[in-house]
């Protein structure tokens, strides 16, 4: 596929994480780039002084996905913003089933959802043509990382 990889900064990336690959929550960033393929996106990698990398995929329709990768190469958080909602089974990876089980039950406001379990937190909001969501695995968060920085 015609995909462009632009590495913006790579300060703290380990050698293994240098290839901007993608995985769902909890996955190994070096092993999969299914998300990039599934949204037909281009990739940008930035890093933070806090020792994690943000892999960002954007596609032509304006969907932007971010995957937050810890120093151990594991995706500890993901977010999405844009006119649609990406495939959450892929975004949430092995946490998807847990999150869905937690979301089961009555919920009638179609524009907001928060699911919080010990293993995974998923938040989703938005209206037609403008959505935002994020998810993280509390056990995987780097020390001193604020979930408010998942944007």
Pairing type for strands 42-47 and 5-7 reads parallel
Interacting stretch for other proteins, rule CB under 8 A, among 5-13, 28-36, 47-55, 133-141? 133-141
CB atoms within 10 A of CB 127: 8
Provide the CA 47 distance to its chain's centre, in angstroms. 15
Residue 71 token pair: 């120093």
1-30: contacts with other proteins (CB under 8 A): none
Among 48, 71, 100, 142, binds other proteins (CB under 8 A): 100
| 3-class SS of residue 139 | helix
Among 3, 17, 110, 143, binds other proteins (CB under 8 A): 110
Q: Which stretches of the chain bind other proteins, using CB under 8 A? A: 38-40, 61-63, 83-85, 87-89, 99-118, 121-134, 138, 146-148, 151
């Amino acid at each position: 596929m015609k995909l462009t990889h632009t590495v913006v900064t790579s300060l703290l990336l380990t050698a293994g994480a240098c290839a901007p690959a993608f995985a769902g929550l909890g996955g190994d960033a070096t092993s999969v780039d299914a998300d990039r393929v599934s949204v037909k996106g281009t990739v940008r990698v930035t890093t933070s002084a806090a020792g994690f990398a943000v892999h960002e995929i954007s596609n032509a329709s304006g969907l932007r996905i971010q995957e937050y990768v810890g120093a151990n190469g594991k995706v500890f958080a993901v977010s999405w913003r844009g006119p649609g909602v990406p495939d959450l089974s892929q975004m949430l990876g092995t946490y998807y089933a847990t999150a869905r089980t937690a979301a089961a039950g009555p919920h009638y406001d179609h524009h907001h959802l928060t699911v919080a379990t010990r293993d995974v937190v998923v938040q989703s909001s938005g209206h037609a043509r403008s959505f935002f969501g994020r998810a993280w695995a509390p056990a995987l968060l780097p020390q001193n990382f604020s979930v408010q920085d998942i944007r």
